[in-house]
Amino acid sequence: MLMLKEHFSVNSQGHLVIGGLDAVELAERFGTPLYVADEQRIRERYRRFLRAFAERWPDVRVHYALKANSNMAVVKVLQSEGAGADVSSEIELRIALNVGIPGDRMVFNGNYKNSRELELAISNDVLINVDSFQELEAVDRIARRLGKRARIGFRINPDVRADTHPYIAVGLRESKFGFDVASGQALAAYARAKGMSSVEIFGIHANVGSQILDVAPFEEEAEKIMALVSEVKEKFDIDIRFVDLGGGIGIPYKPGDRELHPEEVAEKVVGVISRVVREKGLERPTLLLEPGRYLVGDSCVLLARVGYIKERPGMPTWVAVDAGMNALMRPALYGAYHHIELANKMNQKNEFLVNVAGPLCESGDFLGKDRKLPVVEQGDLAVIFDVGAYGLAMACQHTAQPRPAMVLVNGGRAEIVRKRETYDDLTRLDQIPSWLK
Ligand SMILES: Cc1ncc(COP(=O)(O)O)c(C=O)c1O
């Protein structure tokens, strides 16, 4: 058995307990595949994250990155803690507004914001982290039409290497994001914006990537951002009020993975910011952070029922469960590791080598390979850990599989916060053309 994180326990029947509830009973009551999110864990993570920075810097704002998990109940939990939002699409922005996060506590990120999205953001006073010169023109034009002044920052490309999967290392010079610093484009963006009547410059933003377990890339990012903050002040007399370091703090997925504590990151980046502010005599900026995975990643598990077991002499046994890459895409997409146990046999020894697969018709449809589990039998309940970030948010309907349901648990209570999809949900948008009727 693995060392469970502190928000889990095992009861006298050897069943996993989450939020004070027996996972086996949850699966019986709500069906499988089932995402289970622990409200208390999300709250604890938020408080710890905020505290780590707020103890070291006077003005800090934590904007939850909705892309990690945009379920309305999850966002509501964070809103009730006082979190702002980092949104990257119209619907994320509307979800955040809907649960009560004011527009001026949001940032809008991404390299392609369409005009409808920009209109919505500008009308709600959302801080837009502009990603290109053409986007800047669009923001200025739309704001003028709306009779508003858009609040903007610039996303810069800090050219920082982070040891993570290439698809989520987004701070490298070759990446599609942000204004190139090395060639002077980032600086030129501030000069251009200064002459525009319908934009107001507030910030600077970068994001080095996701699932980062080392403090060095964050420190390097802070150095590069602060160098630009001073240059912008020196050359154009612009005071940058928001320094937005993005998200990216990772979580341990695999037994033995190191943990990156937000306190370590806060210590380093605040060290850099205070030094530059002091040396250059700058106004003290507000520090913005956009954590996603750190806040919600380990708050959720996915429960999946074991259907069939296929033994093959000399090879790992195939265990087929009712959740596949449709329900959790990370193993197929990034080769990501998610720890798996049997929720109904937590006290038994993991000694048999298995591959855990879903029901879809491709070989990429697995949740884990070469894993050790107790003797697996039909009807056992597999639990896949650490699926709160980029789990349900990236689920899809491949093979017309309905996306799973999700329950929120807290102190022995459980309620559905995302219904299981049905035939009607999956076919609602399809239409047969008139000539085939
Ligand atoms: C701009 C931006 N901010 C924040 C995040 C959240 O990252 P994480 O979930 O790793 O904290 C991402 C993730 O891709 C991002 O692109």
Looking at residue 162, its pLDDT comes to 80
Instruction: Give yes or no: residues 122 and 253 share one domain.
Output: yes
**Binding-site sequence positions for pyridoxal 5'-phosphate:** 248, 290-293, 390
User: How many structural domains is the chain composed of?
Assistant: 2
Domain span including residue 380: 8-38+297-427
Is the CB–ligand 1 distance for residue 207 below 6 Å?
Answer: yes
Looking at residue 2, its pLDDT comes to 61
Mean pLDDT along residues 164-179: 80
pTM score > 0.75 for this model?
A: yes
CA dist 294 and 211 (Å) reads 9
* Residue in 86, 130, 213 to alter for ligand 1 test, most ligand atoms within 8 A of Cβ: 86
Instruction: Give yes or no: residues 287 and 307 share one domain.
Output: no
Residue 168 — pLDDT band, cuts 50, 70, 90? confident
Would 84 be classed as within a structural domain? no
Q: Dihedral sign, CA of 119, 120, 125, 128?
A: negative
Ligand 1 atom at minimum distance from 248 CA? 10
For 289-307, the pLDDT digits (tens) are 999 999 999 999 999 999 9
Ligand 1 atom at minimum distance from 68 CA? 9
**Angle value at C-alpha 382, between 377 and 383, nearest 5 degrees:** 160
Instruction: Give yes or no: residues 134 and 244 share one domain.
Output: yes
Residue 158 — pLDDT band, cuts 50, 70, 90? confident
Average predicted confidence (pLDDT) for the chain: 96
Is the CB–ligand 1 distance for residue 289 below 6 Å?
Answer: no
Would 45 be classed as within a structural domain? no
241, pLDDT greater than 90: yes
Is the CB–ligand 1 distance for residue 68 below 6 Å?
Answer: yes
From the number of C-beta atoms within 10 Å of its C-beta (0-12, 13-18, 19+), residue 161 rates as: middle
Looking at residue 44, its pLDDT comes to 98
Residue 186 — pLDDT band, cuts 50, 70, 90? very high
Which is nearest to 101 in space by CA: 81, 71, 117, 123?
A: 81
Mean pLDDT along residues 368-373: 96
* Contacts with 311 (C-beta within 8 Å, 6 or more apart), sequence order: 317
Calculate what percentage of the chain has a pLDDT beyond 70: 100
Q: What is the 89 CA–ligand 1 centroid distance (Å)?
A: 13
The catalytic residue positions are 361
Per DSSP, the residues of 95-163 read HHHHTT--GGGEEE--S---HHHHHHHHHTTPEEEE-SHHHHHHHHHHHHHHT--EEEEEEEE-----S
Is the CB–ligand 1 distance for residue 210 below 6 Å?
Answer: yes
* Domain end point (choices 258, 291, 324): 291
Q: What is the 249 CA–ligand 1 centroid distance (Å)?
A: 9
